[in-house]
Amino acid sequence: MKKYILMPIVIILLLSVTVSGVYFPSENSYSYVNSIESLGEQRSITRLIFSNNRKELKNKIDSYVFESKLRNAALNVLASASWNLQDDLFLDTQFFNTEIFYGVDGELYPKINECELITTEEKLKIKSEYKSKFIFVLVPMKQEIEIANLNYLQKKYLCDAYKINFYKFTNINKDIRIIDLYKSFSRGEKYYEQGDTHWNNLGLNLALIELLSSSNPTNNFHYQQTGTYIENNKVLERLGLIKIDKISKRYEVFPEPTSKKKILIIHDSFFNSLYSPTSYLDKYFQVDYLNWSKNIVQNDELYSEYDFVILESSIDIFFKERILFLKD
C-alpha cells in the first residue's frame, strides 16, 4: 500500500523538476556535470519520446533536470540547512557528499576511509643520490589539528597512524630535511580555511618560513599581518553546494632573501595557485612546479639543476601511495 502512495508523489516531483527546467531554467546549476553532451538532436522532448533516439532523450531530460530552478532551489535550501544545523546537532547532517563532513561552527573536514600504521622501516626509508636536496612538506589532515572542533561521533574520522608514521619517517630519515607542520600548526590558531581542507594564508606562511629556514639557515625569518583576504572555501562550494565569503588575516614573511634559491616543487593541491599564489612565492624563490607522478619522482636527472627539491603532499596520500614512488 505504501509504495502505491509514494510512487505518484515521486513521479509528480520528477515531472515538476523536469517541467521547471524546461520553462524556468536556472542560471547556476548545482551539479558536478555542468554540461550535457549533445548528439546533435534538435527535436523537442515531446517528439523524442516517440522516437527511437533514447540516448538523446535521456540527455535532454538530464539537462532539463540539472537546469531546473525548482531542483536547484531545493538543493540550496537543503544544503544550507544541513550546514547550519551542524551547530545544534552532534550527528553529521552533511548528506550531499561522502567525502566531507561538518564539525563545530560548520567547519568542513575530509572523511578518512583508510588508516594504516606502517610497521616496516624499509617502507619508510628514502634512498636517492639527490636526497640531500630534498625537503619534505607533509601536510596534516585538518581534523588532526582541529580536534576540538569535532563532535564526539566524528572522532572516528581521526587517524592516529598518520602522525605516528610521520615521526617514524622523520627518525628513519635523519639525513633528509623534513618540515614538521604538526609542530608549526600547534599554536592554537586557525591554519586551514573554514570551508576547505587546505591551509589558509597563515598555514601557507608558516610552511614558507620553514622552507626558507631550511634553504637559508643563516637568516631569521618571521611573519606579520599585512591585510585581509577572502578565503577560497572551494571545497564547501563544490561538494557542499554552499558559497561563503569569510574574511581572514593575510600575512607576509620577512625578510626577503637576498639570493633566491632555485627550487622545484613537486606538489598536490596545497601548492596550486588558489592556496599558494605563484606571484607570492616568486618573491622568495626561483620556482618550477610539477604535479606528483611516478615518472616525475623517479627522474633523478631532473633534480640536478635545482638547489632544492620540495616534495609536498597531504599526509594521507603520501603514506598510502606517493612514498612508493620514491622506493622503486
Q: Does the pLDDT at position 47 exceed 60?
A: no
- pLDDT tens for each residue of 60-117: 555 655 555 665 666 566 666 666 666 555 555 555 556 888 888 889 999 887 899 9
The pLDDT of 310-325, averaged and rounded, is: 95
pLDDT of 155: 84
pLDDT of 55: 58
Does 12 or 137 have the greater pLDDT score?
137
The angle that helices 2-23 and 54-66 make with each other, rounded to 10 degrees, is: 80
d(CA 50, CA 266): 55
Q: What average pLDDT does the structure give for the chain?
A: 82
Does 48 or 267 have the greater pLDDT score?
267
